[in-house]
A and B are shown apart, each in its own frame.
Chain A
Amino acid sequence: MTQEKLSKLNQATEIIQLLREGRNDEALMLFEKYGFRKEFIGFAMKRNINYDDASDLVQKFTIDKLYMKSNSIKNIEFARTWMYRVFSNMVNDQGRMLKKNREVPLDEDRDQSQAPKISDEISQTRSGCVQEQLAKFREAEPKRAEVLDYILLNKGTEEIRLIIGRSYGATREYMSQCRKKFRSFTEICNEIEE
């Protein structure tokens, strides 16, 4: 395990430990210092949740889960994994709620994607095209995109397995599927020359 990974795991454990001891202010200071607020807000925003909603969601997570449930975490050394698993569920719930509440689009809006638009200039390049396809992939395959995020956040298979609640073999298989699925999205970018 790299030093960076280890320190991230320890940081989450440290926060939970402080909360358990009732040192809430210190825990919140570390939450900010270690960049968890930005990390989780960013995580939610990648799922097409706007900043205000994402911020509210992280607040809710900090109060209802982190503060209220800090004593019920069984393996404190897996605090970071626990945080991701819980927050990911909250984001999924929020996503489902937004989808449910979303009004039926008018005919002219029906084909419009919810994914953020990449400027035309960038999308002319191959990397720009991949960016655009990543946004589309997130919208079409939110669960697979989530696993891609975990990989890109330097999480190992074991940690991802704990977050998504699958066996080791199933997680590897799922990761492989994510790769193949994403490749199918980026096939159109292969025609663009860099």
Chain B
Amino acid sequence: MKNKEQKILQDWINTLQGSEVSGIDSKTRLEARLLRNAWIAENKRIENEIPDQDDVFYQNVREAIAKREANKPSKDLWTTFFENKFKAFLIIILGTGLVYASKKTYDGVVSVANELNHIILAKETGNETINNKTNDKGFWNEHFDKHGGFTGFWSRYTPGEGEKILPINMDDNLCSYNATLSLENCLALANQYDSNARFNLGLMYELGVNVDQSYVQAFEWYKKSSSLGNEDARSNMEYLIKKGLVY
């Protein structure tokens, strides 16, 4: 039944479109032909109303297009950049990777320099707790586990056992790293805005020399020393942050 209806419909369509269809019932054929003739007559009537040439039409269109082109903002760098989404995505990923890798390289160099500085200073004071291992594990070790699995850019380094670094200040005064180093002496000098005394207080708290070890206190004293222009204090502050000892 459905097929028969579909056949009638198709025959009707074909006759409407001017094809000769065999096997079509006469009523459907007549219907289709009358409609086609009416449509053709309608077309003729309408075509007679439409001029063959209309220069005003194209003049208007050209003027409007010229106006649009004049007002069209020239493609800026970003529009051009984002036109191809795939390219933009690739460039962003590569760019980010490059920036990250550069930062890691820079951080590595700086951190090695800091480590060396600390080691040299510590050796001069004869401190035994020095460990010359660097805490910078490098890009691959930091972001991929030992099985080669990606651990993500967000993984943060935490120092392992025996990786503590001991930066030492060499000031030869009451608050120096020797037997006379005491909290009272250092506090007295620190309150007089002595940046080295403040640095040493930070150091004492960081290492737990004559005081209870506190990274937060150490960080605070480094910050105060750094505010007086002490570069070592600033680098130790960064060191504490980088090691994840303070947040």
Contacts and interface: CB of A to CB of B under 8 A. Distances in A.
Interface of A: 24-25, 28, 32, 37-38, 41-42, 45-46, 51, 55, 58-59, 62-63, 67-68, 116, 126-127, 130-131, 133-135, 148-149, 151-152, 154, 172, 175-176, 179, 182-183, 186, 189
Given A24-B62, A25-B62, A154-B17, 6 more contacts: A37-B54, A41-B50, A59-B64, A63-B61, A63-B65, A134-B39
Interface residues of B, number: 33
Contacts of A186: 31, 34-35
26 contacts: A24-B62, A24-B65, A28-B58, A42-B43, A42-B46, A45-B46, A45-B50, A46-B42, A46-B46, A51-B49, A51-B50, A59-B60, A62-B61, A116-B45, A130-B37, A130-B38, A148-B35, A149-B39, A152-B35, A152-B39, A175-B13, A176-B5, A182-B35, A183-B31, A186-B31, A186-B35
Contact of A172 (B6, B45, B61): B6
Contacts of B6: 172
- Interface residues of chain B: helix, strand, loop or mixed (majority): helix
Contacts, number: 86
B50 A130 contact: no
A182 B123 CA distance: 103
Contacts of A182: 35
Interface in B62-86: 62, 64-65, 68
Contact of B36 (A38, A55, A62, A152): A152
- Interface residues of chain A: helix, strand, loop or mixed (majority): helix
B199 interface: no
Contacts of B64: 59, 63
A37 B39 CA distance: 19
A45 B49 contact: yes
Contacts of A135: 42
A131 B38 contact: yes
A13 B118 CA distance: 73
B41 interface: yes
B65 A151 contact: no
Contact of B16 (A68, A131, A151): A151
A134 B43 CA distance: 12
Contact of A130 (B17, B34, B46, B54): B34
